Structure 1
Amino acid sequence: MTLQRMGGFAAVTCAATYVFGFALLVTVLAPLRYGTIDIDAAAVVAFIDVRPGVLIVWNTVIYILNALALTVVVLALHARLAIATPDWAATTRAFGLLWATLVLAAGMIGNVAVERAAHLFPTDPARAVAVWDMLHSVELGLGGGNEIAGGVWILLVSIAGLMGRSLGRITVGLGLLTGTAGLATLFPFIGDISGAVFGLGGIAWFIAVGLSPGRVGRTKH
């Protein structure tokens, strides 16, 4: 399998991790107010005590699996963009790998937070909540609570694709919208809304990238 075919498969995988994340967020995790600024840390830790595997799977899929697939997408898109816009392609590669690293780190810290909370809760529930809340804040700072790195990468990829005509119009349009929404998560008063737009837009964008006629590998559609 070539890098370009791997890139197309990896892009669809990234979209699938987003779909999984949204599905779990609006069902199982909704009562905990997970994913919002009003998250109930005590309720989350009590949930971890009963069902720790749910959040382990959540973190592993939306962060770790996503980061691994994202790395392949970044490299494949770099190769595609480099044909027409080599300088822009090099820049997108740097920002893309940076984003993948942050996402991977967020997932690793998220899983450590779950493991520590599960260990502490039976003997010291208050400390378990404090430790989880602290580590969760670090997780959010790395990428779970903002999408600035991802927004920059998708925006740069879309601009490069537009300039070099190496991405289709739909893909570029979705990328410009999604990238802008990612940058908007910088502002707390619209963070939840822009984050939702980034996530939903990201699903559509990754699918467009993965299923485009070029399969992340040709310069023309």
Structure 2
Amino acid sequence: MNNLQKIGGIAALFEAAIYIAAFVFFGAFWDYPSSAGDAQKFIFLTNNQLILSIVNLTMYVVFGLFLAILVLALHQRMKTKAPALSQLASVFGIIWVGLVIASGMIANIGLAAVIDLSTSNIEQAKTLLVVVNTIVEGLGGGNEVVGGLWVLLLSIAGLKINELPKLLHYLGLFIGSVGILTIYPAEILTEIFGLGQIIWFSWLGVAMLKTPQN
């Protein structure tokens, strides 16, 4: 059990690290030519397909794998004292795992299809790119309702059974609520959720590594 908690804590720290890496990459290194013509945009995507595919793999698929470990570890930690809340939270956690991993696979397969199609029909490639981006955003890129519910329910359970720091759970209540609010497509809400998750995952990881299970 203690080993699972340590592994879960490490997984939480990796989640935070992936969030940070994604923010840094898209904020400082990704220079997508939004104002350029369609041909230039597809040339840019073609030239950067490998790095973008690696980034998608990391921030969706790898993130999802670490998330699965964390969901299991937190369920094991809380299931005895808060069985109903822990089980319900785990349901949303596992659903989030599936959505995040699916987003990454669709993003990379879709990117390859768009680039291939752009060599013969740019207009159709533009349409396909919009479709792929919409699906990815709907599943896990711009809609954090499921993840928000997971964090919110975990925080409620943690406060109820006095497991892990209270301030961490109060932060979780806020972040989980913001995640649920992303059902309304406002970029600021998604950004608050993402930045808040960096703090929450980091704090959670340290707490799981340092705090023995009650």
TM-score (normalizing by structure 1): 0.88
Distance in 1, matches of 2:48 and 2:161, equals: 49
Kindly provide the CA deviation profile for residues 74-108 of structure 1, in whole angstroms up to 9, marking residues without a partner as x: 00000111132111111111110011110011111
* 1:126–1:192 CA distance, 2 compared to 1 (3 A): same
Kindly provide the CA deviation profile for residues 101-141 of structure 1, in whole angstroms up to 9, marking residues without a partner as x: 10011111001111112212222222222212111111111
Alpha-carbon RMSD: 2.2
The residue aligned with 1:9 is 10
Paired amino acid for 1:196: E
* 1:11–1:181 CA distance, 2 compared to 1 (3 A): same
* Matched position secondary structure for 2:143: coil
* Matched position secondary structure for 1:88: helix
The residue aligned with 1:36 is none
Distance in 1, matches of 2:37 and 2:87, equals: 41
1:199 and 2:189 are equivalent in the alignment: no
1:210 and 2:211 are equivalent in the alignment: no
The residue aligned with 2:116 is 119
Greater alpha carbon shift after TM alignment, 207-216 vs 79-88 = 207-216
Query: Any stretches of 5+ residues in structure 1 without a counterpart?
Result: 34-38
The structural deviation recorded for 1:44 is 5.2
* Matched position secondary structure for 1:98: helix
Distance in 2, matches of 1:96 and 1:160, equals: 14
Query: Any stretches of 5+ residues in structure 2 without a counterpart?
Result: none
Correspondences of 1:141-160 after superposition (within 5 Å):
141-160=138-157
Paired amino acid for 2:202: I
Paired amino acid for 2:42: V
Preserved CA contact (<8 Å) 1:49 1:121: no
Preserved CA contact (<8 Å) 2:5 2:208: no
1:86 and 2:87 are equivalent in the alignment: no
Paired amino acid for 1:185: T
* Matched position secondary structure for 2:164: coil
Q: Percent identity?
A: 33
Greater alpha carbon shift after TM alignment, 112-121 vs 202-211 = 112-121
* 1:92–1:41 CA distance, 2 compared to 1 (3 A): farther
Correspondences of 1:38-187 after superposition (within 5 Å):
42=38, 45-187=42-184
Distance in 2, matches of 1:40 and 1:12, equals: 38
Paired amino acid for 2:100: V
Preserved CA contact (<8 Å) 1:15 1:206: yes
Preserved CA contact (<8 Å) 2:9 2:208: no
Distance in 2, matches of 1:41 and 1:148, equals: 35
The structural deviation recorded for 1:25 is 1.6
The residue aligned with 1:24 is 25
